[in-house]
Amino acid sequence: MNKGAFVVVLGKQGAGKGTQCVRLSRFYAVPHIATGDMLRAAVRAETVLGLEAKKSMEKGELIPDEVVNKMVAERLDRDGAREKGFILDGYPRTVSQAVLLEEMLLPLSLNLVVDLEVPTGVVLRRLASRRVCIDCQAVYSTSQPPKINWTCDICGGEVIQRDDDTEDAIIRRLTLYDEQTAPLVDFYREKSLLSTINGVGTADVVLSRVIKAIESKLSRN
Ligand code: AMP
């Protein structure tokens, strides 16, 4: 029985965060909390939050901190996230979100922040060919499509190109990542919470690198 883990995964768009986070959440039996997935679900459901977030998301801009912080705070109170842990994907994205996360978690704290490192040339190629299931968010690509006619192998949902996987939005998101999210790497390094993992390789190979880093940290706690 796994003891759970409190983990944040950082990485540029297309670094394989989603794929690794789904697997880590199964391995540690903790919820996968992906702010991008939550926001896309709100857009599809046309909730007040979704209508507010839609335009910024299509352009590749960030949603205001207070909106995302509230959404995460509510999510942490469900599914035993505070007891067993979680895999946080896409949050925090700015230093101010990271500071708030620390406050939200008290008296708990993170075990580890994994930074998946993949060269920009590789992520650009991955993003241009990426296709995702609109229901379960499983990730495919034009070179590895689902078996039957863009229908998800896992849940039967429609597999599409994300609205923000256009060239303009991709460039905007990668620029924002460098400006706003990359400083998080230093923030967590200073707190001795950071583990930089080579994100190039098959999903299985990268997963084993990540689990090794988490296990090593947990054994020292
Ligand atoms: P992702 O699926 O993580 O690439 O997120 C898709 C989009 O959702 C981003 O481009 C932002 O518009 C929005 N988003 C997701 N997470 C956050 C966050 N932590 N802070 C602000 N905006 C976010």
Higher-pLDDT residue of 98 and 128 is: 98
Give the pLDDT mean for 6-31.
Answer: 94
Beta bridge partners of 42: none
Give me the chain's average pLDDT, please: 92
Closest ligand 1 atom, CA of 17?
A: 3
Which pLDDT score is estimated for 171? 86
Ligand 1 binding pocket includes 5 (Cβ within 6 Å): no
In tens, the pLDDT along 163-211 reads 888 888 888 888 888 888 889 999 999 999 999 999 999 999 999 999 9
**C-alpha angle 56-152-23 in degrees, rounded to nearest 5:** 75
Q: Per-residue confidence at 2, pLDDT binned at 50, 70, 90? A: low
Answer whether CATH 3.90.1170.50 is correct for domain 6-220: no
Q: How far away, in angstroms, is 54 Cα from ligand 1 center?
A: 11
Cβ–Cβ under 8 Å, residues 20 and 194: no
Q: Is 14 in the pocket of ligand 1 (CB under 6 A)?
A: no
Atom of ligand 1 nearest to the CA of 57: 12
Q: What is the pLDDT of residue 167?
A: 81
93 is catalytic: yes
Position in ligand 1 atom list of the atom nearest CA 61: 12
Rounded CA gap, 35 and 68, in Å?
A: 7
pLDDT digits 0-9 by tens, 24-61: 999 999 999 999 999 999 999 999 999 989 989 988 88
Contact 199, 11 (CB under 8 A): yes
User: What's the gap in Å between 193 CA and the centre of ligand 1?
Assistant: 22
Q: What is the model's pLDDT at position 30?
A: 95
Question: Can you give the pLDDT at residue 82?
Answer: 92
Q: Which residues pair with 117 in a beta bridge?
A: 198
Q: pTM of the predicted model, to two decimals? A: 0.88
Stretch (H or E) spanning 67: helix 65-76
Phi-psi category of 16—alpha, beta or left, where left has phi over 0 and alpha has psi -120 to 50? left
Kindly name the residue from 12, 17, 23, 131 that is annotated as catalytic: 17
The pLDDT of residue 47 is 93
Read off the pLDDT of each residue in 11-35 and give the average, rounded to a whole number: 93
Work out the burial of residue 216: count CB atoms within 10 Å of its CB; fewer than 13 is exposed, 13-18 middle, 19 or more buried: exposed
Catalytic pick among 75, 93, 126, 131: 93
Reduced to 3 states (helix: H, G, I; strand: E, B; else coil), residue 32 is: strand
pLDDT score for 172: 86
What is residue 1's predicted lDDT score, i.e. its pLDDT? 52
Query: pLDDT tens digit string along 69-101?
Result: 999 999 999 998 999 999 999 999 999 999 999
Say how many Å lie between the CA of residue 173 and the centre of ligand 1.
Answer: 9
What are the residue boundaries of the structural domains of the chain, listed by start? 6-220
